Amino acid sequence: MSRAARLLQLMQNLRRRRFPVSGQELAAELGVSLRTLYRDIAALQAQGADIEGEAGLGYSLKPGFTLPPMMLSAQEIEALVLGARWVSQRADPELAGAARDMLAKVSAVLPQRLRQELAATNLLIGPGPALPATQTDLGLLRQTIRRQHKLLIDYLDKDGAPSQRVVWPFAMGFFDHCRMLLAWCEARGAHRHFRVDRIQQLTALDERYPVSRQRLLRQWQQSEGIDPTGGC
């Protein structure tokens, strides 16, 4: 691997981490010595990458430093297109449109060779099962999660029993068979999963909930035994 390619890979390895990672682990991933890893870190910092940490403590990349899109590999382009195609077919119209717009923006700034790779990717999304009908506005759900506001929902459980809940929405799960809202339920005092197709009515409240959605997500991951470094 050339030094330029190694620096790009080091950036990617740092970017996908949510928590500091040791120099030993980074060096092992790149197949280099610790001494070389420290020189690479210093080189990236000199180029403007906001990498925090030092030898023995671990390193993390602060948001804001981006790689030029022309450095995308063929595999990264395939992953991008495959993910966008899944969203364009399986998500609500608003999110599907955003996926298509994102691909168009990426294509516009790629050099000609990579633009051809983007257009020629032959990874397709097969048809999935029909989702249960729902009147729930998924765009409003996503907006409420971003704003970290409380949500009032009228809900039917699996037996059809109705209830009204005030919840703190912090994530959504997109599955082939349904959509799930992950939230802290004030009535139960615990994390709960709500099938979106069983939400009869929802009202976004003006009140923000008192903790961050990232903290709620971490707490849920811990309760489910999910490694937070692997994402959700």
Structural domain boundaries of the chain? 3-61, 69-120, 138-230
| 14 or 3: which leads in pLDDT | 14
Share of the chain above pLDDT 70, in %: 93
pLDDT the model gives residue 28: 93
Residue 229 has pLDDT above 60, yes or no: no
Query: What is 138-230's CATH number, 3.30.70, 1.25.40, 3.40.50, 2.30.30?
Result: 2.30.30
How would DSSP label each residue in 74-128?
A: HHHHHHHHHHHHHHHHHS-HHHHHHHHHHHHHHHHHS-HHHHHHHHH----PPP-
pLDDT the model gives residue 71: 62
* Residue 74 CB contacts under 8 Å (≥ 6 apart), including other chains: 117
Would you place residue 69 in the very low, low, confident or very high pLDDT band (cuts 50, 70, 90)? very low
The CA dihedral of 28, 31, 36, 39, to the nearest 10 degrees, is -80
Helix (H) or strand (E) holding 25: helix 23-30
pLDDT the model gives residue 185: 97
* Residue 192 CB contacts under 8 Å (≥ 6 apart), including other chains: 165, 167, 182, 183, 184, 185
pLDDT the model gives residue 231: 43
DSSP annotation of 29 reads H
Helix (H) or strand (E) holding 221: helix 213-224
With a threshold of 0.75, does the pTM exceed it? Answer: no
Question: Closest Cα partner for 20 from 55, 57, 49, 48?
Answer: 57
Average pLDDT of span 76-102: 88
Would you place residue 66 in the very low, low, confident or very high pLDDT band (cuts 50, 70, 90)? low
Q: Helix %, strand %, coil % for the chain, to 5?
A: 45, 25, 30
User: 121: buried, middle or exposed (CB in 10 Å: 19+, 13-18, 0-12)?
Assistant: middle
Q: What are the CA-CA distances from residue 228 to residues 20, 61, 183, 208 (Å)? A: 13, 17, 17, 24
Would you place residue 136 in the very low, low, confident or very high pLDDT band (cuts 50, 70, 90)? confident
| C-alpha torsion sign, points 92, 93, 97, 103 | positive
Would you place residue 180 in the very low, low, confident or very high pLDDT band (cuts 50, 70, 90)? very high
What CATH class does 3-61 carry? Answer: mainly alpha
